[in-house]
Amino acid sequence: MVEEPITGLPEEIIQFEKKNGLTDTDMALASHISVEKIHNIKSMAEEADPETELALRNFMEK
């Protein structure tokens, strides 16, 4: 099975967490998005709906 490269929002979340020393739990608490949803987006198990993507991007831009 060939894995897809991680790009877009999942990659942005991963890099943001690394840069700021955050975990998925930290992101969830601060952005009000469930930790499960953040993990699923990062692992590309699901795509973020527009509202979730906006909330995450707004948090990462602060």
| 3-state SS string for 41-57 | HHCCCCCCCHHHHHHHH
Residue 12 has pLDDT above 90, yes or no: yes
Residue 3 lies inside a defined structural domain of this protein: no
44-58 pLDDT, tens digit per residue, is 999 999 999 999 999
Residue 32 is assigned to a structural domain of this protein: yes
For residue 12, what are the CA distances in angstroms to 3, 32, 35, 50? Answer: 18, 18, 16, 16
- Residue written as tokens 């894995």? 3
Number of H helices, E strands in the chain: 4, 0
Residue 15 lies in a domain: yes
Question: Number of structural domains, the chain?
Answer: 1
What is the rounded average pLDDT of the residues 29-45?
Answer: 96
Q: Which residue has the tokens 């009000």?
A: 32
26 band by pLDDT with thresholds 50, 70 and 90? very high
Q: Please report which confidence band the pLDDT of residue 1 belongs to, taking 50, 70 and 90 as the band edges.
A: low
Cβ atoms of 48 and 9 closer than 8 Å: yes
CATH number at residue 27: 1.10.260
**2 found inside a domain:** no
pLDDT at 3 over 80: no
The reply to whether 48 falls in a domain is yes
By residue range, what is the domain housing residue 39?
A: 8-61
